[in-house]
A and B are shown apart, each in its own frame.
Chain A
């Protein structure tokens, strides 16, 4: 599965939990309250487990976590340098 699909599914199933039916890849996840501060921690934990690498605190910033697109771009970059 593509990174963005994995993220998309996790956010929709585990974090949004029916409050919204769809989310766009460019939707602002944070400003729109789609994810709250606990959701961020869950998302970080999910990424760390699923992709098997540690997200440093200084990477948990708005540029990387603002949308599904931003996050998959960040992850793809990180994973590319790891392999």
Chain B
């Protein structure tokens, strides 16, 4: 393997050695490595011509399509960083991100046209890329036809691995989005580890389910490119239809699937998996939130040929632990561990003062290694708070990222996840882990999904409330459920109120939106 220090190098290597191999697929369209490299260079030269410089930020705002890959690699090849925007986010949030990291150009598509006028109004954008020029917009637009007139030779821009490659915005705990900065190095450290760990080769076909603003997508694109494999983008419409998604995996002969557990649980429940041919699928990877054990066990039984692996890590660190799921016992719904620490990563478990704890004790997980982010865009205060400086080997200092997650190292080397530090609440003086409450709710066979959240009470403390979704055709009264919980939780941890709902609000990345549930509950009290 050659030495790589930039994220985009891999597509140009593949364009030389394997130019006709498919790099990216979307619906009926396909770009080979040769074509992807050519188009990416043309976009890069076009951007440079527009005035985009090394270190600038260029936004990607479109429904995913085959040009998403060209956008990513074109921006990187121009020496800039890409900033993927949630295509379904409200305009105010988009405008915040555009203004926050001073984006001047947006790569977009016709489907987003209706929103562009309002965005221009609220930002200082200089132009749109990827749509026909349009007299109704007060700033210029440039079409792909115009871009493909540019030279396809690779621009000579000197970059180093510490240069910014992408910024992923996540919701901050205060509601203001934070821009997580990743460099070519932090992206590559993760992607190369993933290629090694999952033994990805050019014959793999990797699905891309996650939106670009979700860090799972960096696996789908960069690990695939490094291995010379094919990334197959799941069409947006299909992601909502489990039966269509299952058929798509079969028809596209996907070999590696990576998504949040929710997408897999939906397919298990409503995808008709038994009648599909998933013989090509060799890895089912999941991350983002814990996979309820009972669903995971059923999924593993339904897909006996695939191997399953849980990846864990905050967006700030890429992935830091992984667990190849061993066969799950029938008689316990004990959550699976988050796994062992990645080979290129160092983990520390510390107490509230930052003092390392002996193995076996529960504490906050700190992470050191090449996959850790550079910091939060424009927020040195948050960056400083997120990093823990520690003297190493008695002669130098280095930084660890504070994950805010509570973990415990087990005797076999696997780490067990105990929940978020900030998901630990006090109710009537008792410390309660909300994740533990959810796990207890989920242990009832009629409960499909569960969310627990704190609601302030009149005494200035918190009550716990929970919302659940029942399994299809399930029947359960609040009383029965409370009876079930009382065998598993201390009295003070049993929710004061349990709401049975048909559905949960979700974040754009598919996780349960507990904040919205909580806000609704507070409004109702």
Q: Which stretch (B143-151, B160-168, B185-193, B231-239) binds chain A? A: B231-239
- List residues of B (379-417) whose CB comes within 8 Å of A's CBs: none
Q: How many A-B residue pairs have CB under 8 A?
A: 60
- The reply to whether A37 and B270 form a contact with Cβ atoms under 8 Å apart is no
Pick the contact of A66: B87, B237, B270, B504 (CB < 8 A). Answer: B237
Nearest B residue to A62 via CB reads: B244
- The reply to whether B243 and A58 form a contact with Cβ atoms under 8 Å apart is yes
Nearest A residue to B87 via CB reads: A33
A32 with B241: in contact, given A37-B266, A57-B270 (CB under 8 Å)? no
A interface footprint on B496-514 (CB within 8 Å = 1, 0 otherwise): 0000001111100010000
- The reply to whether B241 and A30 form a contact with Cβ atoms under 8 Å apart is yes
Q: Whole-angstrom distance between the alpha carbons of A31 and B247 in the complex?
A: 18
Interface size for B (C-beta < 8 A) is 25
- The reply to whether A38 and B504 form a contact with Cβ atoms under 8 Å apart is yes
21 A-B Cβ contacts within 8 A?
A: A30-B238, A30-B240, A31-B236, A32-B63, A32-B111, A33-B236, A36-B506, A37-B239, A37-B266, A37-B510, A38-B505, A39-B240, A40-B240, A41-B502, A42-B502, A57-B270, A57-B271, A57-B272, A58-B272, A62-B235, A65-B241
Nearest B residue to A36 via CB reads: B240
For residue A49, give the distance in angstroms from its CB to the closest CB of chain B. 12
- The reply to whether B247 and A61 form a contact with Cβ atoms under 8 Å apart is yes
| A32 cross-chain contacts in B, Cβ below 8 A | 63, 111
Nearest B residue to A59 via CB reads: B243
- List residues of A (12-38) whose CB comes within 8 Å of B's CBs: 28, 30-33, 35-38
| A45 cross-chain contacts in B, Cβ below 8 A | 502
Q: Whole-angstrom distance between the alpha carbons of A62 and B243 in the complex?
A: 9
For residue B29, give the distance in angstroms from its CB to the closest CB of chain A. 15
For residue B272, give the distance in angstroms from its CB to the closest CB of chain A. 5
- List residues of A (29-83) whose CB comes within 8 Å of B's CBs: 30-33, 35-42, 45, 57-62, 65-66
- Size category of the binding interface on chain A: 20 to 34
A61 with B244: in contact, given A31-B111, A31-B235, A37-B239 (CB under 8 Å)? yes
| B239 cross-chain contacts in A, Cβ below 8 A | 37
Q: Whole-angstrom distance between the alpha carbons of A74 and B271 in the complex?
A: 19
A28 with B237: in contact, given A37-B266, A57-B243, A61-B243 (CB under 8 Å)? yes
Pick the contact of A40: B241, B247, B271, B504 (CB < 8 A). Answer: B241
B88 at the interface (CB under 8 A from A): yes
For residue A77, give the distance in angstroms from its CB to the closest CB of chain B. 18
Additional 18 contacts, C-beta under 8 A, given A58-B243, A59-B243? A30-B241, A32-B63, A33-B87, A36-B240, A37-B266, A37-B506, A38-B503, A38-B504, A38-B505, A40-B240, A41-B502, A41-B503, A45-B502, A57-B270, A60-B242, A60-B243, A61-B244, A62-B235
Nearest A residue to B506 via CB reads: A38
| A60 cross-chain contacts in B, Cβ below 8 A | 241-244, 270
Q: Whole-angstrom distance between the alpha carbons of A38 and B239 in the complex?
A: 11
| A66 cross-chain contacts in B, Cβ below 8 A | 237
| B247 cross-chain contacts in A, Cβ below 8 A | 61
- The reply to whether A37 and B272 form a contact with Cβ atoms under 8 Å apart is no
For residue B73, give the distance in angstroms from its CB to the closest CB of chain A. 24
| A37 cross-chain contacts in B, Cβ below 8 A | 239-240, 266, 506, 510
Q: Whole-angstrom distance between the alpha carbons of A59 and B94 in the complex?
A: 35
Residue among B88, B111, B241, B272 with the most chain A CB within 10 A? Answer: B241
Q: Whole-angstrom distance between the alpha carbons of A33 and B270 in the complex?
A: 20
For residue B259, give the distance in angstroms from its CB to the closest CB of chain A. 12
Nearest B residue to A34 via CB reads: B88
- The reply to whether B504 and A31 form a contact with Cβ atoms under 8 Å apart is no
- List residues of B (475-525) whose CB comes within 8 Å of A's CBs: 502-506, 510
- The reply to whether A62 and B237 form a contact with Cβ atoms under 8 Å apart is yes
